Chain A
Amino acid sequence: MPTHSEDPERQALLQGTLDLLILRILVLGPEHGQGIARTIQQRSDEVILVEHGSLYPALQRLEAQRLVRAEWGVSDSGRRARFYALTPRGKSHLADAASRWRAITAAVGRVLGPALAEG
């Protein structure tokens, strides 16, 4: 029996962020799950360490919302993989969500100010 007792707020934040990252990466073109995980790690300078397994529920959710679509294909290394691609709906959703995200982080940054008296 599944027992989930995670704090729903934390989950929501993570979910939203991860979704945003995935959508952003898919702007570059169709990619499979492992490739997405790899790219997130590289582009965040290894700061964000996504547990690869948690990527898939997010992808599943995005697929259900029709923000991405998926198709089995063959990777560069010749392996079968499921490739995810942005749908037009996903594109416009990304545009909205990204600008909202930037506004929020900018606002949070302004509130926090320069790193001075925290230590």
Chain B
Amino acid sequence: MRFRRRSDQDFAAEVESHLELETDRLIAAGMSPAAARDAAARAFGNRTAARERFHESRGLLLLEQLMQDVRYAVRAIRRAPGFALIAIAILAIGISVNTAAFSVINTIMFRNFPGVVERGRLAGIEISRETEWGRASGGPASLAEWELFRTGMPAFSGIAAYGNLQLSVAAGGEPLAVRANLVSPSFFEVLGTRPAAGRFFSASDDPRMLELTAVISHRFWQRSLEGRSDIAGHSVTIGTHSFTIVGVAPQGFFGLSPGEIVDPDIGAPELFVPLPAARFLRADSGVADLAAVLDDRRLRLFGRLAPGASFAQALRQANAAAARLAAVDPVQRRNAAATLDPGVSGTRNAAEAIQGALFVMLVPAIILLVACANLANQLLARAIERGREIAVRLSLGPTRGRVARQLLVETALLAIAAGLLGVLLAWWLLDALRVWVLPIPFRIPIDLRVLGFTLGLALLTALGFGLAPALRATRTDLNRALKDGSPGSGQRRSRLRSALVVVQIAASLGLLAVSRVFVTAAERPPSASLDELAGHSLLVSVNLDLLGFDSTAGRAYQRELLARLGSLPGVTAAGTAPYAMFDMFGEEAIREPGQDTRNPHYIDLAEIGGAWLEATNTRPLRGRLFTAAELAARPSVALVDEVAGRELWGAADPMGHVLRIGDSTPSLVTVVGVIPTRQEVSFRQPEGLVVIPGTRRYSPHTYVYLRTAGPAEPLLPTVRQAAQGVDSRVPILWVRTLESVGAEAVGSLSLLASGLAGLGAVALGLAALGLFGVLAFLVAQRRYEIGIRTALGARPADLTWMVLKQALRLGGAGVVVGALLALAAVTLLRAIIHGLHPLELGVFAATALIMLLVAALASAVPARRAASVDPMEALRAE
């Protein structure tokens, strides 16, 4: 009873009983009933006041006041719906970008991946080794190493391994190149994944039963097999063998590597092949031994903690396994140690995680900052319009804090509305992202954590853009405000507004500068030889890895492919290289024969075949290209580009120098020519290139470069057909024009750049609006002064200059702060993304100039208003 709050009714009943008792008494004392009732009511006094004080003593005051504030705020917002709509829209944009960015972080760092149960109990197991430069990541594990780690770690209830493959898969029609995962039989068990159809493999399965079996992805099931319900037992051709499909992974399942599915070169896995089936992937070459099939290191390991076990225990056991590994392989795994990645977040430590999150959140945060600064500015302007209303409210009794709180509630309501809209926008943004930018096989969810983040962000922004205006608005000189409606402390208010405008200009300038850095990264430097090639060049990509070709058969296929494509009508030159144009070439240890063996140069090496130099329109600056005899024989000659020449010999002439290429079986080559620096994307700065005839070693992945006499595009189908005709089992990964390969190489970059530039332009527009507002305010403030000036003979030009000067001063301050901001942002970005160019001063200066121009434009209307002030009217109004 004591702890229950009394209700209003209970209190009213008590008052009623009081009045009745008093009336009874007065009647008993001889009054008439009517007079007694009146007297009782009189003696009681103000019933409303009593009830109000009852409320107060009840402690509900705060909540009720808050409700009052909300009602008041809703009324105020409805009085100025235009302002509210603009404010909500601006803020919603800022919040949506942040919400979307956080959703991505949330998905990668906190949530369970699709189909994965309790990710927090999983841990990636990585092996590091000691090198001459210190401890380095050991990279993926080999099959033998996986066998070592598979047992002897009781802290894990299960251990699994997976590795990436590209396989040729035919489900009836032409073979397709498909991204696949080679998985240990325990893979799905350890992840806790349930099949969408059929069944999965298990660690307890007889390995022989798993030969020639595979699990397919939900997408492959739907796209290539029409989602048929009798899928289990159906078969597909992988390479040269028929594999039985035993089950389908759930929708959106991609395993544990979100970084790979957003990489257009890799994508989400479509096929899961158990390790015991791996030998059939290369069975044609006669290799029966599993270890020989997987001669390289491609397995990544992870385990699930046993109930009650800790990551520390697991780490100790993993380190014991690593020590066994170091004992077996003292060279490649010297002093091997294990590290765990709890939660398989892909980041090794908190610092990395924070750096990644910062990178994702940096730009959205800047946009929100601009939006907040803009709104704060608008609110200040409104506070001036509402100065009189606020003064009236203040004079009616409530404290300054109370009125400030009411104004804050108003901004909080706006922010919450913007938050709701922002969540909707973010939803749409994430879908658009999925469709247009990143091929993610599942919807990035907006869960409670994200909603909490958004709500917190909305309230924080409400404080951010509402606090200063609310405090300022309530710090008014009542008498003055009531008397003439003009606010007090105008000077200080305009200083704050100016500062906010400077922040906006600076932030938008920073954004534009950062976007510019990405634009430069996505731009191809001008190249006359590439321009000549434009429209007359095709690339064909074929990968023989895991298709059952040994190096002899592989070379034979590649020679045949080159010959057939080169003899097509319309093709003037055909050559091969193991890398696509604009792609990164592999680095190789290169040094002069007499040089210290410990410090070779690492320079990109292109091993070419056929008429690659002609096909890529490469012409020597000095010396000559390769002869047909040199191309066919073991490498004895080389071409270097200018950058490589400078790195190796400084200013000296490279011609005639001898290079030693490779470590274990080196080739000695003589430089016979110097070629221009290669025109790859400048995402990485040109790092030099050495070109040699490509007969040194076999690479299963080859790219055929074709140069055509006429337009290349019409030849696409002919080339594809001819390539497919060489061997019907080999999938042709793609046939594309040089332009589309180049566009793809920089695709995500240029998209990022245009996105940033767009946001920067929005921010710039907001900043211009803010500047306009401040200037208009200043002119209105100084009407009286301007009137006097005009009366004293100031010409309109003087007044226009006065306003323009103010605009340029604010713009200039913004540019200076913006330069610092951009410098900091670009420095941070360059620390994260290698190869980004530093900020170009010229470009920044041009942007700054545009900003100043915008500032001047924003001052046009206020300036005209100032110039047209009628002195008589202005002076009379005061």
Docked complex Cα distance between A57 and B46 (Å): 12
**Interface size counted on chain A using CB atoms at 8 A:** 30
Within B8-50, which residues are at the interface with A (CB < 8 Å)? Answer: 11, 13-15, 17-18, 20-22, 24-25, 43-47, 49-50
Q: Is the CB of A82 within 8 A of B17?
A: yes
A66 at the binding interface (Cβ < 8 Å): yes
Docked complex Cα distance between A3 and B68 (Å): 14
Among B6, B47, B52, B57, point to the contact of A61 (Cβ < 8 A): B57
Chain B residues near A112 (CB, 8 Å)?
none
Chain B residues near A63 (CB, 8 Å)?
2
B173 at the binding interface (Cβ < 8 Å): no
A105 at the binding interface (Cβ < 8 Å): no
B585 at the binding interface (Cβ < 8 Å): no
With contacts A1-B398, A52-B22, A56-B54 known, is A32 near B17, CB below 8 A?
A: yes
Chain B residues near A54 (CB, 8 Å)?
45, 50, 53
Docked complex Cα distance between A83 and B312 (Å): 66
Q: Is the CB of A81 within 8 A of B49?
A: no
Docked complex Cα distance between A69 and B47 (Å): 23
Docked complex Cα distance between A79 and B17 (Å): 7
Q: Is the CB of B43 within 8 A of A51?
A: yes
Chain B residues near A32 (CB, 8 Å)?
17-18, 21
Docked complex Cα distance between A60 and B2 (Å): 11
Q: Is the CB of A56 within 8 A of B15?
A: yes
Docked complex Cα distance between A66 and B378 (Å): 51
B842 at the binding interface (Cβ < 8 Å): no
Interface segment among A19-27, A33-41, A92-100: the answer is A33-41
A64 at the binding interface (Cβ < 8 Å): yes
Bitwise interface map of A from 70 to 104 toward B, beta carbon under 8 Å scored 1, else 0: 01000101011110000000000000000000000
With contacts A5-B397, A66-B2, A77-B24 known, is A56 near B50, CB below 8 A?
A: yes
Q: Is the CB of B22 within 8 A of A34?
A: yes
B528 at the binding interface (Cβ < 8 Å): no
Among B18, B57, B58, B397, point to the contact of A33 (Cβ < 8 A): B18
Q: Which residue of B lies closest to A75 (CB)?
A: B21
Bitwise interface map of B from 46 to 85 toward A, beta carbon under 8 Å scored 1, else 0: 1101101110111100000000100000000000000000
For this complex, into which size category does the number of interface residues on chain B fall?
20 to 34
Among B1, B17, B57, point to the contact of A60 (Cβ < 8 A): B57
A29 at the binding interface (Cβ < 8 Å): no
Q: Is the CB of B17 within 8 A of A52?
A: no
B541: shortest Cβ distance to chain A, in Å?
75
A53 at the binding interface (Cβ < 8 Å): yes
With contacts A53-B47, A53-B49, A56-B11 known, is A3 near B17, CB below 8 A?
A: no
Among A37, A57, A77, A82, point to the contact of B14 (Cβ < 8 A): A82
B629 at the binding interface (Cβ < 8 Å): no
Q: Is the CB of B45 within 8 A of A2?
A: no
Q: Which residue of A lies closest to B2 (CB)?
A: A69
Q: Is the CB of B14 within 8 A of A33?
A: yes
Docked complex Cα distance between A69 and B6 (Å): 13
B396 at the binding interface (Cβ < 8 Å): yes
Chain A residues near B6 (CB, 8 Å)?
60
B58: shortest Cβ distance to chain A, in Å?
7
Chain B residues near A81 (CB, 8 Å)?
14, 17-18, 21
A14: shortest Cβ distance to chain B, in Å?
13
Most buried by B among A2, A54, A81: A2
A108: shortest Cβ distance to chain B, in Å?
28
Chain A residues near B54 (CB, 8 Å)?
56-57, 60
B43: shortest Cβ distance to chain A, in Å?
5
Chain B residues near A51 (CB, 8 Å)?
43-46
With contacts A3-B396, A79-B24 known, is A57 near B57, CB below 8 A?
A: yes
Chain A residues near B20 (CB, 8 Å)?
79
Q: Is the CB of B47 within 8 A of A77?
A: no
Within A44-61, which residues are at the interface with B (CB < 8 Å)? Answer: 51-54, 56-57, 60-61
Docked complex Cα distance between A69 and B2 (Å): 8
Docked complex Cα distance between A61 and B57 (Å): 6
Chain A residues near B50 (CB, 8 Å)?
53-54, 56-57
Among A4, A34, A53, A75, point to the contact of B45 (Cβ < 8 A): A53
Chain A residues near B17 (CB, 8 Å)?
32, 34, 75, 79-82
Docked complex Cα distance between A65 and B15 (Å): 21
A106: shortest Cβ distance to chain B, in Å?
32
A103: shortest Cβ distance to chain B, in Å?
29
Chain A residues near B1 (CB, 8 Å)?
71
Q: Is the CB of A2 within 8 A of B52?
A: yes
Docked complex Cα distance between A63 and B25 (Å): 26
Q: Is the CB of A52 within 8 A of B2?
A: no
Chain B residues near A56 (CB, 8 Å)?
11, 14-15, 50, 53-54
Q: Is the CB of B397 within 8 A of A3?
A: yes
Residues on B facing A (Cβ under 8 Å): 1-2, 6, 11, 13-15, 17-18, 20-22, 24-25, 43-47, 49-50, 52-54, 56-59, 68, 396-398
Closest 5 CB pairs of A and B: A3-B397, A51-B45, A53-B50, A53-B45, A57-B53
Sample of 10 further A-B pairs with CB below 8 A, known A60-B6, A71-B1, A80-B17: A1-B397, A3-B397, A4-B397, A32-B17, A34-B18, A34-B25, A52-B45, A53-B15, A60-B54, A81-B17
Residues on A facing B (Cβ under 8 Å): 1-5, 32-35, 37-38, 51-54, 56-57, 60-61, 63-64, 66, 69, 71, 75, 77, 79-82
Q: List 26 A-B contacts (CB under 8 A).
A: A1-B68, A1-B396, A2-B52, A4-B397, A33-B18, A34-B22, A37-B22, A51-B44, A52-B18, A53-B15, A53-B49, A53-B50, A54-B50, A56-B15, A57-B50, A57-B53, A57-B57, A60-B53, A61-B57, A63-B2, A64-B59, A77-B24, A79-B20, A79-B24, A81-B21, A82-B13
